[in-house]
Structure 1
């Protein structure tokens, strides 16, 4: 279970706290077990600073606390505070990166269930799609739906998400896909051959919907497997 420590401080030396954090990051390189750290300053009380540190588990947090570098930096942090900081230990009950949800739904509904009109609810009306394999390099929502219909009718691809990474409004997807060439595509008649390939896409989300996407699929590898020699 993911574990989080919340360190609540009062200090008139926010710059010193930042310096100590930078020093801790350098000193614990290759040793620390913390995976994510956020430092926030109260907008209504500039002396109130909160640090949130994430660990894979409580056991990993204990290992991190036992590092000599962590102990030294923490003692210096306490000295930089106006009063002793408080620490709250939290077992994470839910951890949902909400933009991942809409991206996963896009792959499931549009790519695998072939419900192309589901894109109307998952994407913004002014959605833009970027793909170097497209003649124009960029298309809108209706053009994207039409392109997907053509591609799926010809190749019947099934997509497997290998990983999703979210940072802010961006979600990066690494995936694999396989299918069979059953319809005319790229000016070629169907070969009936099976294929498998990989791809990567980055999505920009806004308000719980997809605003923009960038795609890179190994269509050259697909074409070679189909005996087309290239696209």
Structure 2
């Protein structure tokens, strides 16, 4: 079952966060896992509020990815750029419709 993680955070350092994400992507992902898609959204109604949507093939792949040293390093650096600790919502995908 596909798995989606929502990461909500507040930051005044969006440009630095973007550069950090680009560096992480440039390093590449291992062939055995990692997100299949990452979407970053900025809240129109709340400046500085962001939601990142990370999609994985399964919960197990997401947890293996979370346990990687490079993911831990990224999360630590991300938290340092946030006003408060990010919040995580873990979702099992029930259905998806394409229009």
Structure 1 length as normaliser, TM-score? 0.41
Cα distance in structure 2, aligned partners of 1:28 and 1:65: 15
In structure 1, the residue corresponding to 2:71 is in which secondary structure? helix
Q: CA deviation at 1:17?
A: 1.3
Instruction: Indicate if the aligned counterparts of 1:28 and 1:70 stay in contact, CA closer than 8 A.
Output: no
Q: Which of these two proteins has the greater Rg computed from alpha carbons?
A: 1
Distance 1:63 1:28, change over 3 A: farther
The answer on 1:77 being equivalent to 2:78 is yes
Cα distance in structure 1, aligned partners of 2:64 and 2:83: 28
Report Cα offsets for 1:75-131 as digits up to 9, x if no partner: 000000000000000001111112xxxxxxxxxxxxxxxxxxxxxxxxxxxxxxxxx
- Structure 2: give runs of 5+ residues left out of the alignment: none
In structure 2, the residue corresponding to 1:87 is in which secondary structure? strand
Q: Which has the higher strand share?
A: 1
Alignment of 1:158-177 (within 5 A): none
Cα distance in structure 2, aligned partners of 1:63 and 1:28: 16
Cα distance in structure 2, aligned partners of 1:28 and 1:64: 13
Q: CA deviation at 1:24?
A: 1.8
Aligned length: 98
C-alpha root-mean-square deviation of aligned residues, in Å? 1.2
Runs of 4+ in structure 1 off by over 6 angstroms are: none
Q: Which has the higher contact order (CA 8 A, sep 6+)?
A: 2
- Structure 1: give runs of 5+ residues left out of the alignment: 99-231
Cα distance in structure 2, aligned partners of 1:27 and 1:84: 25
Counterpart position of 1:6: 6
Instruction: Indicate if the aligned counterparts of 1:41 and 1:50 stay in contact, CA closer than 8 A.
Output: yes
